[in-house]
Structure 1
């Protein structure tokens, strides 16, 4: 789509928006039979970013902004004279703009979630406590050399010391997986040995329950990624442990989590309401899908990534789907967003 047509489309949509309802209030400009009011100028200014808005603090700057609105009005009126308001491209854009307005007024009025009572927020917090309170977790590798008595334990410690010395030497030469390689060959812990001794991410309590307190204590005493223990005793034998990484513990109280919970619950409610609303609309409207005709739809191949700069595709670009309106910084629910303006 060339720049001229794009400008015409935007202007026609702007004119359609201005003509939605009765205009009232002081008039700052007249263009043909259309009036631009103080409220319209204020609304357009408020739609700009705060940084840009700060520029328009003098009459000269405000007049500059108004001139842009006048230009858009001129373009819109000329576009209608030339019949662009009846073109499929403009009608499609208008349809999407109407969907945006419909969604905003039908669903987004409750998106802030201010109507959700505090007891519901607390119930959500309690039901999803793992999202807000997480213990410190560590991912460690270990090598187990089993020992049943004092003699076997002494031999296992000697072997572990030799293994540790060899691992250190290989790591200094750049072999970053030396510990894992040794675990595969030497560790007798059947579940983890084939994985290079990897115990995955576990909290201290989880590691204690899965193995033993000695292993958990040794693992969580390590501070930095890559740190290793000296050989140490556990009920199962003698072990070596290497720290891969630790995650920071999180303990967010209900008061700290209240507003994020409110926003999350409001978004989830909006998504449910959208699905139920569209379902009812479909139930009350005759909808027929003709799959035989659908099969005949040919999809153009994607343009070559090697296309030289300055040469445009032979096919006009498809208009992007319109995302639903949502508060600044908040993404709209994927369930609703994937459908709005697309089907």
Structure 2
């Protein structure tokens, strides 16, 4: 356990302390206040589930020491009246609300899980929207003025290499790589930038400068390919998570609509 970050252990102890049941054999009794053994079990379970360590006597001993220290500090804080401070009470209320609401959400999803059929339907919808889409491997040269961009185009027509001219691009992020912007779909760029290259074929360069908020661009299409849709198994977990969040959002909206809000 000594190899694990203290911050992580502290967080796990805090979460498990709030969630631990009141009944259990006592781990220790601090100034008459019992600490149930179940709190250690809960923290160990979280550590193992998150892949942060394995159940061991050393882990349990470290958790025990931290729980005792936290109880001592908690008693001292209460003795000094920190639990009565407005900001502390507000923080406690917020933490309590988050814990209760999160449990409600977990129970709702457990009773209304995302089904394989829903995942398949969402995947099919996603694949359909991607069908026929293209990705472009682009290079660009950014200039401050339109005349500068026109001068670049003239040099290219005269036989200059795009990669060489790109070293003077105002886009310092891509200049060193010959203006390379890698592969991307048109939707990844501002509309006016995308409109400048979507009608070009492989190897072509824009005939006129493309103006955006950044300046004036000369764009070259290195290559074009159809968007590759990943197999469903590759993105199944992401789809399930997205659908879960959608269900929770719909449930929340439904509850808000039923509530009397003045």
Distance 2:124 2:241 in 1: 16
Distance 1:265 1:113 in 2: 15
Cα 1:31–1:133 shift into 2, 3 Å: farther
| RMSD of aligned Cα (Å) | 4.4
Q: Is the 8 Å Cα contact of residues 112 and 263 (structure 1) preserved in structure 2?
A: no
Match of 1:27 in 2: 26
**Higher RCO (C-alpha 8 Å, min separation 6):** 1
Distance 2:42 2:233 in 1: 36
Distance 1:94 1:197 in 2: 50
Question: TM-score, normalized by length of structure 1?
Answer: 0.46
Match of 1:94 in 2: 92
Q: Is the 8 Å Cα contact of residues 21 and 38 (structure 2) preserved in structure 1?
A: no
Q: Is the 8 Å Cα contact of residues 156 and 162 (structure 2) preserved in structure 1?
A: no
Distance 1:123 1:95 in 2: 40
- CA positional deviation for 1:105: 1.8
Q: Is the 8 Å Cα contact of residues 197 and 220 (structure 2) preserved in structure 1?
A: no
Does 2:191 match 1:200? no
Distance 1:80 1:23 in 2: 20
Match of 2:160 in 1: 169
Q: Is the 8 Å Cα contact of residues 28 and 35 (structure 2) preserved in structure 1?
A: yes
Match of 1:263 in 2: 241
Cα 1:276–1:84 shift into 2, 3 Å: same
Does 2:44 match 1:45? yes
Q: Of residues 214, 235, 250 in structure 2, which corresponds to 1:272?
A: 250
Please list every run of 5 or more consecutive structure 1 residues that lacks an aligned counterpart in the other structure.
1-9, 142-162, 179-194, 202-206, 208-214, 230-240, 288-343
Cα 1:33–1:139 shift into 2, 3 Å: same
Q: Is the 8 Å Cα contact of residues 134 and 250 (structure 1) preserved in structure 2?
A: no
| Greater fraction helix | 2
Question: TM-score, normalized by length of structure 2?
Answer: 0.58
> Rg bigger for which structure?
1
1:263-301: per-residue Cα shift (whole Å, max 9, x none)? 2111111112123323433x1x5x4xxxxxxxxxxxxxx
